[in-house]
Structure 1
Amino acid sequence: MNASHLPFGLIIPTLGVQELIIILLIAVLIFGGRKIPEIFKGFGEGIREFKSAMKKEDKQTASTGEKKEAPRPS
């Protein structure tokens, strides 16, 4: 099965180490070597902020005792 027959979500995991290295090299060429750590720092901060917001939401939901049911498939 080639990538053209896969759904979009399944294309990304098929990237190998060589492809990731090429993408990283292109990013260094575009943004410069000094800018890459700043980009990853911002990305990491965004992920941490998202996780803390999710934990906060879980605590609020647990304290109110609400249970959200998933919609039934039709």
Structure 2
Amino acid sequence: MTTLGFIGNIGGPSVILIILVIILLFGAKRIPELARGLGRGIREFRDATKEIQEDLEEGMKEKKKKD
């Protein structure tokens, strides 16, 4: 069994059932499109958090120079 944070313990049959439900809901042709969109969203989120972290670090350096 695999533990995935808030999802809990998931076994092999559960994962297969989830994948089958996704295929039935969205269709096999739409799944790659959905995965690309999800990948872009994750990449944008990662870039935004990296930018915020760099801004915070820069602000901390400037504050130390003033002190």
- Cα deviation, residue 16, structure 1: 1.9
2:64 alignment partner in structure 1? none
**Percent identity of equivalent pairs:** 34
Q: Which runs of 5+ in 2 are unaligned?
A: 62-67
Question: How is 1:1-74 mapped onto 2 (pairs within 5 angstroms)?
Answer: 12-65=7-60
User: Normalized against structure 2, the TM-score is what?
Assistant: 0.75
Q: 1:50 to 1:17 in 2, by over 3 A?
A: same
| CA displacement 1:45-72 (0-9 Å, x = unmatched) | 1111100000000000000107xxxxxx
- Cα deviation, residue 17, structure 1: 2.4
Poorly superposed stretches of 4+, deviation over 3 Å: none
Q: Which runs of 5+ in 1 are unaligned?
A: 1-8, 67-74
- Cα deviation, residue 10, structure 1: 5.4
Rounded to whole Å, the distance in 1 between the matches of 2:46 and 2:15 is 25
Structure with bigger helix share is 2
- Length, aligned pairs only: 58
Paired amino acid for 1:18: P
RMSD: 1.9
